[in-house]
Structure 1
Amino acid sequence: MKNWLFLFIAIIAEVIATSALKSSEGFTKPIASIVVVLGYMIAFYCLSLTLKTIPVGIAYAVWSGVGIVLITTVAWFVFDQKLDVWGIVGIALIMSGVLILNLLSKTGSH
């Protein structure tokens, strides 16, 4: 269970770093740039801890799927980047895939 917590921390850190990347304006804003670097450092460190027990394919699928949904949500509310219906359908399909991997597949370590 601890490894899933590390994965969750990695995802949150990556979403914060990616959001700050947009705000850094090409690394011209020092505070946002520092948040980017620290966020990605935390994200990759926690992801590396996760990979000790969770298969890399499963960890990366969860990382990318949940990350896409969260960063899209942040972009919607913080940067006013709206999705059309097909964008929402696509994200729903991504989340469906993550749920199928974690709830139905015997591939991962549960």
Structure 2
Amino acid sequence: MRAWMQLVLAIGVEIVGTSLLKVSAGFSHLWLGMAGMLLYGLAIFSFSLALRKIPLSVGYAIWAGVGTAITGLVGIWAFGEVLTGPKTVGFMAIIIGVILLNMPVKASSPRPARRWRSRTTRE
């Protein structure tokens, strides 16, 4: 449950950070841009903690998909962007994709996790 809360935090912080980058107008307002960058760092840190328990494929799909959809809605609500037919279809595709990725699947035999080693490590 904690990993899912960290993923939600990562998504929320990234959305706020992205919105601050928009408001910073290309870093014309330096402090807003810097705050946005700081929040991006916090989002990545929180996401990395979530990935301790959540599979990478599922975690990244949710992070990217939900973050993209909500950021798109923030753009429409806060910045006056227009919701077009193709955008609506795109939002629906994101939602359907996240649902499909979270559906349980019965695997015959799970592959063992691959452990990464440094190339300089000698056996």
Q: TM-score, normalised by structure 2?
A: 0.81
Kindly provide the CA deviation profile for residues 16-55 of structure 1, in whole angstroms up to 9, marking residues without a partner as x: 1111111111112023113212210110010010111111
Corresponding residue of 1:11: 11
Aligned partners of 1:6, 1:73: CA distance in 2, in Å? 22
| Pairs within 5 Å for 1:1-110 | 1-102=1-102, 104-106=103-105
Equivalent pairs: percent with the same residue?
Answer: 35
Gapped runs of 5+ residues in structure 1? none
Task: List structure 1 runs of 4+ shifted beyond 3 angstroms.
Answer: none
Corresponding residue of 2:111: none
User: Which amino acid counterpart does residue 85 of structure 1 have in structure 2?
Assistant: G
Kindly provide the CA deviation profile for residues 83-106 of structure 1, in whole angstroms up to 9, marking residues without a partner as x: 21121011101111101212x233
Q: Which has the larger radius of gyration?
A: 2
Aligned partners of 1:77, 1:40: CA distance in 2, in Å? 21
Higher relative contact order (CA 8 A, sep 6+): 1
User: Which amino acid counterpart does residue 106 of structure 1 have in structure 2?
Assistant: V
User: Which amino acid counterpart does residue 53 of structure 2 have in structure 1?
Assistant: T
RMSD of aligned Cα (Å): 1.3
Normalized per residue, the structure richer in helix is 1
> What is the total number of aligned residue pairs between the two structures?
106
Aligned partners of 2:58, 2:12: CA distance in 1, in Å? 17
Aligned partners of 1:60, 1:100: CA distance in 2, in Å? 14
